[in-house]
Amino acid sequence: MRTFFKVLVATFLIIPTVYGQKKKSNQEEWQSLFNGKDLTGWDIKIAGHKVNDNYKNTFIVEDGMIRVNYKEYEKFTTEYGHMYFNQPFSHYKIKLQYRFTGNQVPGGASWNVRNSGIMLHSQSAASLGLDQDFPISLEMQYLGGLNAGERTTGNLCTPGTIVDIDGKTTEQHCINSTSKTYNGDQWVSAEAIVLGDSIVYHLIEGDTVLVFTNPKIGGGYVGKNHTFKDGKVGSEEDWMKKQNTALGSGYIALQAESHPIDFKNIQLLNLKGCMNPKALNYKSYYIASDPASCKYKK
């Protein structure tokens, strides 16, 4: 698997593009998911509030960053929030930078100090229950160091999902990566390579820190003994019918869990569909996925 990964990564040439603009055919066709000015293209869902009710300006844009902001909060209770890019993806590479800032808002749980992440293969904002705290998804969890021992980042948490680690199915809710600890308010570079329902790689500062395979819907919602009902998931019966079905696509969401965090340089390389055979991302797709599903351009 390590050898395969090295071959895969060697095909990725990191050449960013500006929002909505494509590069020449001899370069990878990265797209920015954030225009640097406002939250166009994103939907907000905060527990207890309707879709796109940005309660107390939890998500704001400042200085070219998306900021999870609690300046208007007196106290945090159950306002777990996520901001969803409004297009689903299946095979892709996503990269961004994040940093934790300041102090946790009063009322936040102790386990949420310097804790956030991005949700991959997530359900849509519109499909969440009104009081649902976390979407059914694969969370690439970001943790900041507490200046007290090791605390890895780029971990995996699984609200309503199951994965295989080293070829064995696990229902463990959160799985630690092998990353180093990042204390302070420094920027950290994070990447994920997501290949449908087959394999997902988590990378921190360019190093592979976690690999898992065969993501599925099911297991405990936030732990083995917690059901979809415990998480106030909308359409619980429909999700129950999907137990143990492959999870191969979905939305990308940024998380707000009570500690301020900034995100910037959020870029995606779409590896799915018909691509120009002369482009480098076509080569990435050819190695990473099933080339038979790509219809060649004439």
Number of domains comprising the chain: 1
**Is 186 among the domain residues?**
yes
Query: Can you state the angle between helices 280-288 and 2-10, rounded to 10 degrees?
Result: 160
Task: Please say whether the beta carbons of 156 and 141 come within 8 A.
Answer: yes
Query: What is the structure's pLDDT at 170?
Result: 92
pLDDT in tens, the chain (298 residues): 444 444 444 444 333 333 444 444 446 789 999 999 999 999 999 999 999 999 999 999 999 999 999 999 999 999 999 999 999 999 999 999 999 999 999 999 999 999 999 999 999 999 999 999 999 999 999 999 999 999 999 999 999 999 999 999 998 899 999 999 999 999 999 999 999 999 999 999 999 999 999 999 998 787 766 778 777 898 888 888 999 999 999 999 999 999 999 999 999 999 986 444 544 445 454 444 444 344 333 3
Of 169, 254, 175, which is closest to residue 215 (Cα–Cα)?
A: 169
**Is 73 among the domain residues?**
yes
Indicate the helix (H) or strand (E) that contains 7. Answer: helix 2-10
**Is 71 among the domain residues?**
yes
Question: Strands across the sheet with 42-46, in order?
Answer: 42-46, 81-85, 251-256, 115-122, 138-143, 155-157, 174-175
Assign residue 198 the CATH number of its domain: 2.60.120.560
Residue 20 buriedness (CB in 10 A; 0-12 / 13-18 / 19+): exposed
**Is 160 among the domain residues?**
yes
Indicate the helix (H) or strand (E) that contains 168. Answer: strand 168-170
**Is 31 among the domain residues?**
yes
- Record the pTM: 0.84
Residue-range definition of the domain harbouring residue 148: 27-265
Query: What is the structure's pLDDT at 126?
Result: 97
**Is 5 among the domain residues?**
no
Task: Please say whether the beta carbons of 191 and 5 come within 8 A.
Answer: no
